[in-house]
Structure 1
Amino acid sequence: MMDDATLKAWLTVARMPHTGPRRFADILKHFDSPLAYLETQKRPSKAVEIGVENDLRWAEGENCHLITRAHKTYPTALTDIADPPPRLFVQGNPKALNQPQVAIVGARNATNNGKDRAFEMAAMLATGGLTITSGLATGIDAHAHRGALAVQGQTIAVMATGPERLYPQENQYLADLIQQSGALVTEMPVGTLVTRGLFPRRNRLISGLSLGTLVVEAGAKSGALGTAQQALEQNREVMAIPGSVQSPVARGCHSLIRTGASLIETAHDVFSTLKLDGNVIEPVDVIQTSQASPELDAEQQRVMDALGYEAVSFDVLVKRLGLTPDRLSSMLLNLELLGLLIPTDGGRYERSNQRTGG
């Protein structure tokens, strides 16, 4: 157990100007501890001290954990990368970070087929014992998280913001579900806003935590390709699912395959590529929706009735139904997995074109 002074020293050094992960690693090589390093420095600025207090206050929240490289629960996989984060802010189950993981990433503006592939692949891999790691973005990322949740598997969402912020906001309900068995994780301290330049930093953690990275759909210039490149530099496996030669979001995947990424068609291909041993069971087929119209219980039918036949926001549904946000989030996800509704832009929901839900 780390004492308060030691933890505060880790947080203080991490917040000092010009002290990124590589600089922090150099400090650890030359000093016994961050506390020893601070003894050689001037007193930290008031802004740094306030920031550290905010970090510590955040950690007092329910299911909130601050993990430094000195903690036993720090993910072993990250110690192998060139620039491991000195500390992590974790909401949910910190033990999930040390489970065998595969990253599933891809385009935000994904096709319906791509979203289905991400969902089904994640579900099958999670059934096989792997934790699914992604970036909580719309499109492929969100559907990968949902696929793991659909089979009661673990999933980890790596964020590019401070732990008290969520981007995009429309995935709040998904984030709430993820941390119930898996985890939300970020290296960025409290108060960090959404900044374009932070997403590559996030991506190196997605690939670094994972045994391999699977790209489902990606354009010729895509953040998912950046994650794949990070995986290569970290000596991790890179995998890609091919698509139509006419599809713009398949070009990135085809480029990866041409340059040596493993071509993936089934979940079995992923297990084979990762050379997993017998501790991980074989994946099973997962059917996202049944052919017959599912039977709804009374509460599910209430949600469908409240939804009506137009796109409705989450907040409106909360008011119409009188349910808690957590309960409604769980029900919406279940109804989505049944094929009865779909999330749309702006955090709204509408009935699926394939079902009427009664």
Structure 2
Amino acid sequence: MKYSSIMFSLLTAIRYLVFMTIYHYLSFFNHYSKIYMYYFLLFLMVELDVRDSKIFDVICDNARVPFTDIAKATKISKDSVKSRIDSLVKKNFILSFTPVIDYNKIGYKMFHAFIKLNTSLDQEELFLKNAISNGNVVAVTKVIGGCDYELQVLARDVIDEYRILDKLFTSFKKGITDLRVLTIINYYKYTMNIKKSSKRSFSKNVIKNKPFKVDSKDLAILKELFDNCRESLVSISEKVDLSPELVRYRIKSLINSGVIKSFHARINKNFLGLTTYLFLLDIEGEINNKDLQFFNSTSNIYHSRNTLGNWNLNIGFCAGNNNELFDTIYKIRKNFGDRLNRFDLLVPLHRYKFSPIPDGLIL
């Protein structure tokens, strides 16, 4: 057992050295080619065995489950569970342990702005810098398809959202050829387990939910949970200057009030040889039980959301090759049939920013 562990460590070290050597000589590639090559090389480095897969199946949609419970569910020792999770984090297979929150509960709405640019690279870099530094922007993602960037923006209402985007785009209005904004209404499905059909779904209307009063301590706890929702109560308590008992009580209140919807382990899907796609649809009529069953039974669909704007349905899914891509698109189109008016397909390339509790969020 000890010998095999040493051999595994040596093999990992050799792969890492090979990876760093090759990546060091990629300076002649352009920026986006380096991104693709980076993920490809890391994919070669990560191997998931049966035990890793069992652990991930437990924590993917329940990221705060204790090590002891993971050990019982997987029949793996507690020390081995902890060691393997630490290894997956170190290798960047697991990007973070994070909660999913309903921003409407704290008086905010999430807007998704899809932007098409026609400007120089210097101007695009300046646009990107401004978007990343903006205190109301949660995420900035480079995409290909019908637009160039997706921005996730937190705002109090539509007027506030217009003010934020107008200020952000003031210097780039001539370079923006298309801007489409979506508001999230319903969450139908959200899961990180892309290997199995999901039983987890959200059908509550987030627009009509009454806000939950949070204070600066709640916000500080949420920030710590977004940094690592597996962090211990003792560790969080030291950072937010509250007792562990009060931290536990506040987290429980945030869960019971619906502010925190769930806890997930965010994974780098590239390591599984998967590409992420965003399917934007305009459909007629309401989402019915048959549609919900389709979302939950289609394992490579990891989120589905009802939106208000140019498209009223937003589906995120993964595919390992073109056949899986075409098959998934076919299944989605077949499910909605004549109800589907039009659709667009986007491919996220690189996320430049992910800050779920941005500096501009004011209670």
- TM-score (normalizing by structure 2): 0.26
Higher normalized strand content (fraction of residues): 2
Q: Which has the higher contact order (CA 8 A, sep 6+)?
A: 2
